[in-house]
Chain A
């Protein structure tokens, strides 16, 4: 039986085609489509667990507002990954097979919803940068005016990043560098396996943002960046599990 593969797209009108070309954020190789969702889910699990724990700590000790700020920042970062996952549903393939005599015709239709894609990607960028800024704010408290100003710039970046993703990844990388400096200071003050692991996890996650910048050269960098991100969040999750274990272990002695 002869198999003919025919490719077509459902967004054939000029307006949609223009939109798809403007949005520069799809860099995943085709064979990796959907697999990155699993990586994002692992990241969400790590972020949500830490966020809930910090929130529970705040419930016990309301005097330390840093618990609340940390919970909020990790929660917002988790929301950003949820938006990223939702963005995947803006593009989906439909494969239809029709039999005509001896021929089996496979037709692949790509459905693309530009407005939904723009919203989900926009919120992903906004929540990521706001989340990282909030995390930095836990350690270096900013005045209200500075916070408003930076929020405005983050909104601008969220808009501009549709044209060029480098601005988003570079901004996230710079924010990560500032956060890493705080965790390095913390590691110097409290030398231990957990503090070291948290610092190394953030370094790894920041490297993933650098890798995302290189995606335009070759989309294999997207896979590498996602894997590096996975390692970073697994490290963060491991540090959190160690914290819980240490708390229980010391109690037994």
Chain B
């Protein structure tokens, strides 16, 4: 989900996020609540549209996650 938001320039509409992440509405709502709770994403409103934006903490976490995957691959973990 975080990667989907970032690929869209850090801001995405909830419906687009649902399609991009290939999740059901309930699944997405549940994951989104967790991500908001951890301050990785935040909700914002612009011209009556709701948007989900990735926070700096979310970007940092995404970087860490990608480093982890690279490390895992390199050392065969």
Interface residues of A (CB under 8 A from B): 53-54, 56-57, 60-61, 64, 66-67, 70, 138-139, 182-183, 185-186, 189-190, 192, 194-195, 198, 239, 242-244, 246-248, 250-251
Contacts and interface: CB of A to CB of B under 8 A. Distances in A.
Contact of A251 (B62, B73, B75): B62
B74 A247 contact: no
Contacts of B68: 57, 60-61, 247
Closest 8 CB pairs of A and B: A247-B67, A186-B76, A66-B77, A194-B74, A247-B66, A243-B70, A247-B70, A57-B68
B23 interface: no
A246 B70 contact: yes
Contacts of A248: 63, 66-67
14 contacts: A57-B71, A60-B68, A64-B72, A67-B77, A192-B73, A194-B74, A195-B74, A243-B71, A246-B67, A247-B64, A248-B67, A250-B66, A250-B70, A251-B66
Contacts of A61: 68
Given A139-B76, A247-B69, A250-B66, 4 more contacts: A190-B74, A246-B70, A247-B63, A251-B62
Interface in B26-77: 59, 62-77
Contacts of B62: 251
A61 B68 CA distance: 9
Contacts of B71: 53-54, 57, 243, 247
B76 A243 contact: no
B73 A195 contact: yes
A246 B70 CA distance: 7
B58 to A, nearest CB: 12
